[in-house]
Amino acid sequence: MRASRFLPNDRGAVAVIFSITFMAVGGLAGAAFDYSRMTSTQKHLQTAADAAALAGARVAADGGATGAQKKAARESFAANCTMAFCDLAEKPTVDTKGEVITVTANATVPATLLQLVGIESLRADATSQATFGLGQFVDAHFVVDVSGSFEFADDLAEADRMRLNYRRTIDWGVGCSFACHDAVDMFGLNVTYNGKTANQIARDEGIYLRIDRVRDSLIGLAEAIEATNSGEHIRLGLFTFDDEVKRIVTPSEGIPALKMKLEDLDTRSHATDFDPVLSFVKSRVGPAGDGTKAKPKQVVVLITDGVQHSDVTLENVMPIDVSKCTNLKDAGYELYVMHIEYPERTAIYPLVNSEMPVFYVLDPQRGAIIQALKDCASPGRFYEGKYASTITDALLDIAGEIAGDGELRLIK
């Protein structure tokens, strides 16, 4: 008898081991296959949820009601979730809270090979949040030049009206439209017309001045921010300056108080002194914040023609000192500059006595004045206007930048 007949026979064991190994390997392969389908489904759900959240936020930014926001989000989800397993997705949940739209989507993905190990399906989930508001807290301070040059008429037709109504003897009866701000000139002579200054004449005759354009544009700007300022993310303040600086409204007083003060905005004198302006603003506003409610970001909007002078001599007509701007920016402030262009000499020709010295000393420095204002501004924050709607449009662009107007972004 052969001894091998009494040895154990392991052929049946090999079959069992093979069967177990096959199930394990098959299970791993099935897990990889089914997991890949689940992650692919989840990726498509996430893409559709992102688009849906942005669609809802877009309607919210346009002032749409909550129902319209949710409808837009669901329609967007349906349009963007196109793979086969999107048919298995539940209707997305859309929640609105303040400036945030949240879309949640789920899908049950049937298992294939994983069923060998008792797993019938896998769950795919996606959540997206979009915001249409600023997202950070901002205190914006408008610093407005109210020197006499802002008594120039808002357009050339209004300038002609000023000439017709302001024919001082000192100007040979030609009529003055610019640099004729004061009741007494630099030599102490009375230069009013019928006892009235240019500003008084303009008010009597209903002549619309540059300061009026700035005033009305700022009121419109404040109203635009107020209308979209959900959560009170943006507060507005006001400073004015000529040869001195005054704080008119603090951000904590609110936009209604600002609009009330703006109604009274008018020019004060003929001189302009930039040197104390930005340091004064910084001392009153305090340190720049990080954009939280407790420490809002600080934004300064300087509105000026850029011409600094205390009298009409060459030595005293000069550009803004850019180092003053640099000090503010280095401290963390964002600095916008709105340049309202000084009128060209040809725009008010023929020149009269009070106008001639201004242009003879100004014209050679025009380029340097504008460049200094550009250098003063934070990158991308320089704006220009000349007459009428160009000033309004530029200020509204600034409002849009401050408010994040039209900015929709995903936050989750």
Question: At 228, phi and psi to the nearest 5?
Answer: -115, 15
- Nearest alpha-carbon partner for 49 in 119, 101, 112: 101
| pLDDT category of residue 327 using cuts at 50, 70 and 90 | very high
- Nearest alpha-carbon partner for 48 in 91, 78, 88: 78
Peptide bond into 256 cis (omega under 30): no
Tell me the pLDDT tens digit for each residue of 278-300: 999 999 998 898 888 888 999 99
pLDDT at 388 exceeding the cut of 70: yes
The answer for 168, left when phi > 0, alpha when psi is -120 to 50, beta otherwise, is: beta
Q: How far apart are CA 401 and CA 412, in angstroms?
A: 23
Burial zone of 327 (CB within 10 Å; 0-12 exposed, 13-18 middle, 19+ buried): middle
- The answer to whether the CB of 372 falls within 8 A of the CB of 339 is no
Mean pLDDT is highest, among 187-201, 256-270, 354-368, 373-387, for: 373-387
Three-state DSSP state, 203: helix
Give the start-end residues of each E strand in 70-160.
Answer: 93-97, 100-110, 121-131, 138-145
Virtual CA dihedral for 80, 85, 87, 92, nearest 10 degrees? Answer: -60
DSSP letter at 295?
A: S
How many other CB atoms are there within 10 angstroms of residue 165's CB atom? 19
- The answer to whether the CB of 148 falls within 8 A of the CB of 182 is yes
Which two structure tokens, joined as six digits, stand for 368?
């340097």
Tell me the pLDDT tens digit for each residue of 6-51: 445 555 444 444 444 444 444 455 567 767 877 888 888 888 888 8
pLDDT at 217 exceeding the cut of 60: yes
Per-residue pLDDT at 378: 96
pLDDT at 350 exceeding the cut of 80: no
Three-state DSSP state, 294: coil
DSSP character string of 233-287: -EEEEEEEESSSEEEEE-GGG-HHHHHHHHTT----BS-B--TTHHHHHHHHH-S
Q: Are strands 382-385 and 297-304 parallel, antiparallel or unpaired?
A: unpaired
- Nearest alpha-carbon partner for 281 in 318, 320, 310, 240: 240
| pLDDT category of residue 64 using cuts at 50, 70 and 90 | confident
Q: List, in sequence order, every residue forming a beta bridge with 208; answer none if it has no partner.
A: none
Three-state DSSP state, 131: strand
